[in-house]
Chain A
Amino acid sequence: MYSFYSLQIQVGKGLPTAEEAFNFFTLNFDPDPPDVIETSSRRRQKQRKTTDEDEEHEDSEEAPLVQTQEDLFVIDQSPQDFLEIRKAEYVGYQKLLQLQSELLFTPSFRTVPTSIKLPENMKPRYLEDEGLYVGERPPVSLTNENILENRILKMEEGKKWFGDDGRIIALPNPIKESSTRPPLFHMEEALDPALQTVYRKSKYANLYIAGAADPEGDYQLDVDVSGLIFSHHPLFSREHILGARLAQMYDQYLTRQRNNLTGHLTDKLNGLRNALRNMLESHSGLNPTQALQQRISEYNLEVRNTRHLRDSEQEKDRTLLKNIVKVWKEIKALREFQKFTNTPYKLYLRRENVDRVSDEQDYEDEILAEVVELEAETEEEYQNKLAEYKKRLEEWKLCRKKQAQDDTEGEDEEQDVSESEGPTDEPPPKPEPPERPDLGSIEQWVREKALRIRRKPGEAILIPELSASANITASELCPRAEKARREDVARRSLFTKILYNDKEVSRTDSRSLNTDFRVHFGQIFNLKIVNCPQSISLQVFEEIGSSCSLLAQVFLPVPEPSVVTGSVPLEEFEFSSNQRVMFDHEGVGSDVPLSFEADGSNKQSLLTSGKVSCCVSWGIGDDDVPLAPPISQQPGGGHLDAVSYIGASGLYDMKKIGEWAKQSRLDPNDPKNASIMQLLKVASSGEVTAPEYFRLEHLQEEFNFVTDEELEKSGRFRLLKLRNQEVAEFRNYKFIPALEREVTDTVFQEYEKRLKEGEVIDTKEHLDSHRALVAKYLQKIRESVINRFLLAKHHYLLSDLVTEEEIPTIGEGSGINLFKLAEPKRPLKPQRKERKKVTAQNLSDGDIKLLVNIIRAYDIPVRRLQSKPFVEVSFQRTVLQTATADGPNPCWNEELQLPFSAPNGDYSTASLQSVKDEVFINIFDEVVHETNDKNRGKSIQTHIEKRWLGSVKIPFSTIYSQSKIDGTFKVNTPAVLLGYSKEKSHFTNSGFDILRSLSEGTFITLFITVDPQLVPGESVREKVSLNGDLKKPLFDTQEDERLLQASERFERDAAQRYPDRPCITTVIDLSGKTVFITRYIRPLSPPKELLDEFPNNPLEATPLVARFVSLIPSLPDQVSFSATCDLWSTCDQFLTLLAGDEEEHAVLLCNYFLSLGKKAWLIIGTAIPEGPTAYVLTLEQNLYLIWNPSSGQFYGQYDTFCPLQAVGCLVNADNVWFNIQQYTSPMRVSFDITKANLWKPFFSRTFSHPGLSSVQPEELVYRRTDRAAAAELQDRIERILKEKIMEWRPRQPTRWNRYCTTTLKQFLPKLELIRGQDVAEGHRHELQSLLGDYRISGFPLNLVFSEIRPIIEAVYSTGIHSVQASNVEFALAVYVHPYPNNVMSVWIYLASLVLT
């Protein structure tokens, strides 16, 4: 209690008084009785009032605190005086921050400028840029790096952490990129067998010596560490250095003495000389033979070489001796100077006296012999030189003479000579005769030399003897510095560690360093080994007190298995260390320059070095079996330790190092190996010279598996190459033979023929040279275009590879899609579903069928009584026909399936696009003749004859590109059908009749499609516009960028809003450039001849002009350019080529109409059967007329049978209008282009017409019609057709009715004149009357002339040749009507006549 209170007081008061303190320590704190009472009473109180509150308690305790104090200590100060009440110390937050900022350092996040990190005035140096290897740095986030840099820079010497490039020095990233564990594909237990872990001994196991695992095969290496000697040690005194040098030289002397090379060479020399002398003596009288001379000269050479060797050896001996003496003298001088001796070396020079006379004699003899020899040599040399001189002199003279001759000859020749030989034929300088050697000087030279390298004659032979018998001065007598050195030496001790495969296996005892710096260990370590020895090394450690330091490491070679203990001598291995040691005593230190000269010159610094004498050998077992492994296999191909491979002594042998580097496959790019690689390179540079040229693909030749010539020659390789280039003939060539001999030349014949054709124009096939030229030109264009598109073909779009559902547009919403899910499976009103499209490549022959649905026909010409028309469809020479129907408006409703086969079985898109075959739909009338065969009596023979009424032909390319063709087509009916007439309507009131009166001609309703549906080739253009960046490389343009962008936008908008309406604003011209479409429209005048026919009213010429245009042959671009791509040629190009598709026809027609003063537009729309096409619209007397440019037909706007189905846009020279009306059908379209709500103009107020000039020429130049050529052509066609018809009738004879033919021939020009429009009823009567007895059926065909082949096809398709009646005769008339510019209209009148 008391203590508690007193403590309280102390705390309150601060320092206690002395008394208090004394009391505190000395008093026995006996409790005060009253206090005890008080407390006990209080306790009682407490017991009594257990319910009292704590406060009361505290109060009662508080009170005595002060009271007791007053009671206990008599101090006149109140406790309050000792208490000081202060506010708690509080520092404001801001201030705190301030204080903190003074104390704390927060590194900034900012990047440190490089200039701060580098020493001043230094630019950062990027080693990587200099081509040096820089490892990848470990990834550190930039922020962290910045913080780190800022922090480092704050430190002292912060800059030393930064490399030359201003970044923190970092080791290369140690983390391997590839994971060491292979990915596990299978998660379950059934692991793939290939991934099953297979136990294999670890790689390291290879290092074990075979058989080491079993206990018998233990191998033992004995390492004998005998001792070491320092050749230099930091504690060497100067005397020691000299002593070591002396000892070394003495060693050398002894070695030399032992080898006695000088003596050996001298003996050899003498022997040689004797032999030579004998040889000369024995043959002295005789003429030396060739062989002898050879031998003598050989001997001479040998003598000379030996003498040289002996001389140099003698010189070395002498120098060594001299040096020994010199060093000894130095030692003596040093000992004298320092007045103490440190080393025990003592050199005695033993004199061996010689017989002076004989010695002198020998000496003189020797000199004499040498002089003689030298003289002979010099003489020989002189003679050689002389001979050389003479030879050259001769040459020189000859040269002079020749020149003199040249001078006398004519000037021309002289010039020639001087020109041709001038520079080379400089008169050679007159050779100098060699000087005669001074023989006298030879002897003198020999004597001088002898004096230098040999003992003087008669002089005693000096034999140095080094002994360690000198007394070393005792330490007490030495100066202080030397004493310190000796003490230092005494403190040191050495031991060596033995490292086997870089692991310490044992170490020697520590031995103190002797004053003579030799340490003797004399320990043999037996190493039982299991691992293949890779390296054995000794580490020499020096111990001073308790600290030890590594002095040097010595590598020991791994002994051969034959090297066993006891049979090997100790070897000495040198070691050295480059530590720098300095002392303040006599010790010279290491790597410290020191000089022995008085003036301090000739400084040298010595490094600690020495020799370890030791040996490594294989131990011997109990029964004298060497404990060495069998001739060990090379341990793996792994990393070989250089030292163990070569051995320490071989490290200076470049060859060995090179060999090692090769074997261990050093990575030349590893910076660790850089020094070795450099060394090897330098070492080998003497032998290998780098090529002075630089070749880009110097390995190319090695990759060629045959030579280029072979590659050219081989048919097989050629075939492979051509196929790879996708040359048309070989594109899908299957099975290129494996062997050369199986490649026949016939394979190439077609190809070569085509190549040749390119140059030679085949007039035969084209009938017309001009057309042949055109064909060739087209071919060229086609090739260039194809090349252009080959590139585009290999660009794939996502949609080419992946089919993906389109995202429903937001407007339709995905709600509808969801609704679809709930749709009934078989709705009451089913909607047409798109057929699944089939990609072309996985098709084969027979997979594709052409479905032709023939529904009905209207207004077929009828025979007088009745007609039974049927339809025959021929495609690819497959002919199918419907059943016959009745009447002029028959209904067949029949589906015909025709097989389709692609050319060469290639169903690729490109191949299908180039299919040129056409579907012929011919309407025939079946006529049954009943003939009573008179011979047979009652039997009636029925002949069924079919008569051609008309045809529709649809190119396959159209079907392919449109995937289906559905509509009513105008049948191409002949102008005159003999025996047929159009049925005049009897019911004039019927509505149908009104329509029919508007449209003349026969119509047929068809539906054609391909089954399965093929994916039509995407046009290149489309593709180009889809990936816009492709546009530029493919099609360059001269149009303004802004215009192109606007047109792209226009087309895109149009395609988005009305995807089924074609919209074209830019087209590609023949040179592959993008051209704005309006540039094609320009008034161009038609040929004058056409206008001249109607001089009064030029408008009358309109149909004629249209006919002229329609007579220009059509050639769909798709067919000619295989890839779907529209190329627009200008009118002059069109007229020159005489081929083009609907667009060209339309442009030309439009331009003609414009020049005739009509209001004309180009309609870009879709029509049947062409699909997207171009028509021409004219406005005549408030009536819009639609012209089909390829047929020359025109239709009124409200014509039901107008083939134009949809109007996309209108084009004229000024603008393009896009149809934004509700409907596209021309009948429902208003052609008033001024209404902006119906037609959206391309050029508007916001984007005005920039004044585009036309690409069309100002005027078209027409060639005159060539009537003679036309007549010739006419004859040729007639001849060919007649031949063909006879050919098609191989069984029956074909008779030609000449009379009829001439009649028909006269009739044809008339038809041309009236353009086959009016069916001349009179003509039939005329014919009938002429050929009264014949039942005649026939018709004229009007064709556009392009080639002969289509004409033949057309004739064939009429089936006129198939008349079987025996008495049938034929009539064939051909008329070719020439129009300007070689446009031809061909009329063929075919008729069959049967005599009744």
Chain B
Amino acid sequence: MAASNPSVFLLTVNGHIEGANFPEYDNLYCKYCFVYGHDWAPTTGLEEGITQIASKSSQASHRLIWNFPLATTFKSTNPSGWPQLVVSVYGPDVFGNDVVRGYGATHIPFTPGQHTKTIPMFVPEPTWRLQKFTGWLTGRRPEYTDPKVVAQGEGREVTRVHSQGFVSVSFLIMTKDMKKMDYETGPSGPANKPSATSG
């Protein structure tokens, strides 16, 4: 691949899954994976991972800290199917069963630079109230068949969710050859201030 005539562009994602804020739960861990389109491929780094179990500090701050590093490089030919980070948080319930505490997804930022994203998390709701009870009892809450569902829009209309908690992720984004392939991703460099929270 000649440097002057690239046929792919590279997107390097560094960063951290910094932590989460789940006021009601403790001892949580987080799984992450990337979801991307057909024209994307990870070249280096882990595509999915799982953090340690973190419990809240006894101090005033009730934040869970994972500080789990992300370092992945993607190559692509087409911005369609831009990678998304899918995080799902799990933790034990009252009976010690591992249950899901939240799903969430965010797109990897387009622009190079540092970004901090706060991902609101949600979990699927049981269909019936009775099921909610039995689910609570047996520790088998409704879960997505595949956490990657939260990165796609299709079919979501059949689910009901309720939101709980936030996960904050910081990204350090680098791109290579995007400009050369005529993709503009807006202002880059130092002018780019940390963006606001994601919706």
Interface residues of A (CB under 8 A from B): 185-190, 192-195, 720, 723, 732-739, 742, 794-798, 800-805, 807-808, 814, 817-818, 820-821, 839, 841-842
Contact B77 A802, beta carbon cutoff 8 Å: no
Contact B144 A817, beta carbon cutoff 8 Å: no
Least Cβ distance of A792 to chain B in Å? 12
Which chain B residues border A820 with CB–CB below 8 Å?
Answer: 138
Q: A194-B195, A805-B134 are in contact. Are A798 and B38 (CB under 8 A)?
A: no
Least Cβ distance of A822 to chain B in Å? 12
Contact B62 A734, beta carbon cutoff 8 Å: no
Interface string of B172-195 (1 = CB under 8 A from A): 000000000100000000000011
> B94 in the interface, Cβ–Cβ < 8 Å?
no
Contact A794 B154, beta carbon cutoff 8 Å: yes
Of the candidates B80, B134, B146, B148, the one whose C-beta lies within 8 Å of that of A807 is: B134
Q: A796-B158, A805-B131 are in contact. Are A817 and B77 (CB under 8 A)?
A: no
Which chain A residues border B168 with CB–CB below 8 Å?
Answer: 192
Least Cβ distance of B8 to chain A in Å? 7
Which chain B residues border A797 with CB–CB below 8 Å?
Answer: 158
Q: A185-B197, A802-B142 are in contact. Are A734 and B41 (CB under 8 A)?
A: yes
Extra pairs beyond A738-B77, A739-B181, A797-B158 (4, CB < 8 Å): A192-B197, A800-B145, A800-B158, A804-B127
Q: Which of B108-140 contact A (CB under 8 A)?
A: 116, 118, 120, 124, 126-128, 130-131, 134-135, 137-138, 140
Contact A801 B197, beta carbon cutoff 8 Å: no
CA–CA, A796 and B138, complex, Å: 27
CA–CA, A798 and B158, complex, Å: 5
Q: A192-B197, A738-B8, A798-B127 are in contact. Are A841 and B39 (CB under 8 A)?
A: no
Q: Which of B32-68 contact A (CB under 8 A)?
A: 38-39, 41, 60-63
Provide 9 A-B residue pairs closer than 8 Å at the C-beta atoms, listed in order of the A residue: A185-B166, A193-B116, A735-B39, A736-B39, A796-B157, A803-B143, A804-B140, A804-B142, A805-B140
Least Cβ distance of A651 to chain B in Å? 41
> B7 in the interface, Cβ–Cβ < 8 Å?
yes
State which size class the interface on B falls in. 35 or more
Which chain A residues border B143 with CB–CB below 8 Å?
Answer: 802-804
Q: A798-B127, A802-B159 are in contact. Are A190 and B63 (CB under 8 A)?
A: yes
Which chain B residues border A817 with CB–CB below 8 Å?
Answer: 134, 137-138
CA–CA, A980 and B8, complex, Å: 64
Contact B124 A736, beta carbon cutoff 8 Å: no
Which chain A residues border B8 with CB–CB below 8 Å?
Answer: 735, 738
> B149 in the interface, Cβ–Cβ < 8 Å?
yes
Q: A185-B166, A194-B197, A735-B39 are in contact. Are A801 and B158 (CB under 8 A)?
A: yes
Q: A190-B63, A742-B7, A796-B154 are in contact. Are A818 and B38 (CB under 8 A)?
A: no
Least Cβ distance of B164 to chain A in Å? 12
Contact B166 A188, beta carbon cutoff 8 Å: no
Contact A737 B77, beta carbon cutoff 8 Å: yes
CA–CA, A188 and B59, complex, Å: 11
> B3 in the interface, Cβ–Cβ < 8 Å?
no
Which chain A residues border B154 with CB–CB below 8 Å?
Answer: 794, 796
CA–CA, A1066 and B164, complex, Å: 46
Which chain A residues border B131 with CB–CB below 8 Å?
Answer: 804-805, 807
Interface string of B19-32 (1 = CB under 8 A from A): 00101000000000
Q: A723-B38, A801-B156, A803-B145 are in contact. Are A193 and B194 (CB under 8 A)?
A: yes
Which chain A residues border B157 with CB–CB below 8 Å?
Answer: 796
Contact B138 A186, beta carbon cutoff 8 Å: no
Interface residues of B (CB under 8 A from A): 7-9, 21, 23, 38-39, 41, 60-63, 76-78, 80, 116, 118, 120, 124, 126-128, 130-131, 134-135, 137-138, 140, 142-146, 148-149, 154-159, 166, 168, 181, 194-197
Looking at B63, B130, B166, B197, the one whose CB has the most chain A CB atoms below 10 A away is B197
CA–CA, A794 and B128, complex, Å: 25
CA–CA, A190 and B156, complex, Å: 34
Which chain B residues border A735 with CB–CB below 8 Å?
Answer: 8, 38-39, 41, 77
CA–CA, A514 and B80, complex, Å: 81
Q: A185-B118, A194-B118, A738-B9 are in contact. Are A796 and B155 (CB under 8 A)?
A: yes
CA–CA, A1389 and B21, complex, Å: 75
Looking at A736, A737, A801, the one whose CB has the most chain B CB atoms below 10 A away is A801
Contact A736 B38, beta carbon cutoff 8 Å: yes
Contact A187 B155, beta carbon cutoff 8 Å: no
Contact B118 A192, beta carbon cutoff 8 Å: yes
Q: Which 8 A-B pairs have the closest CB atoms?
A: A796-B155, A738-B77, A804-B142, A805-B140, A802-B124, A798-B158, A802-B142, A188-B61
CA–CA, A794 and B157, complex, Å: 12
Which chain B residues border A808 with CB–CB below 8 Å?
Answer: 134
Least Cβ distance of A652 to chain B in Å? 44
Which chain A residues border B62 with CB–CB below 8 Å?
Answer: 187-188
Q: A796-B154, A802-B145, A803-B142 are in contact. Are A192 and B116 (CB under 8 A)?
A: yes
Least Cβ distance of A743 to chain B in Å? 10
Which chain A residues border B63 with CB–CB below 8 Å?
Answer: 188, 190
Contact A194 B138, beta carbon cutoff 8 Å: no
Which chain A residues border B78 with CB–CB below 8 Å?
Answer: 720, 736, 738
Which chain B residues border A736 with CB–CB below 8 Å?
Answer: 38-39, 77-78
CA–CA, A737 and B116, complex, Å: 32
CA–CA, A312 and B23, complex, Å: 89
Of the candidates B39, B126, B155, B194, the one whose C-beta lies within 8 Å of that of A801 is: B155
Which chain B residues border A188 with CB–CB below 8 Å?
Answer: 21, 60-63
CA–CA, A798 and B157, complex, Å: 9
CA–CA, A801 and B144, complex, Å: 5
Contact B144 A803, beta carbon cutoff 8 Å: yes
Residue of B nearest to A733 (CB): B38
CA–CA, A1222 and B39, complex, Å: 55
Which chain A residues border B120 with CB–CB below 8 Å?
Answer: 185
Which chain B residues border A818 with CB–CB below 8 Å?
Answer: 137
Residue of A nearest to B62 (CB): A188
CA–CA, A190 and B154, complex, Å: 36
Q: A188-B60, A738-B77 are in contact. Are A839 and B145 (CB under 8 A)?
A: yes
Contact A189 B61, beta carbon cutoff 8 Å: yes
CA–CA, A192 and B170, complex, Å: 11
CA–CA, A187 and B143, complex, Å: 27
Looking at A194, A802, A817, the one whose CB has the most chain B CB atoms below 10 A away is A802
CA–CA, A1163 and B39, complex, Å: 49
Contact B38 A732, beta carbon cutoff 8 Å: yes
Of the candidates A195, A738, A802, A804, the one whose C-beta lies within 8 Å of that of B197 is: A195
Which chain A residues border B197 with CB–CB below 8 Å?
Answer: 185, 192, 194-195
Which chain B residues border A720 with CB–CB below 8 Å?
Answer: 78, 80
CA–CA, A794 and B156, complex, Å: 11
Residue of B nearest to A723 (CB): B38
Which chain B residues border A801 with CB–CB below 8 Å?
Answer: 124, 144-145, 149, 155-156, 158-159
Which chain A residues border B39 with CB–CB below 8 Å?
Answer: 734-736
CA–CA, A733 and B41, complex, Å: 12
CA–CA, A841 and B77, complex, Å: 22
Of the candidates A189, A195, A734, A814, the one whose C-beta lies within 8 Å of that of B60 is: A189
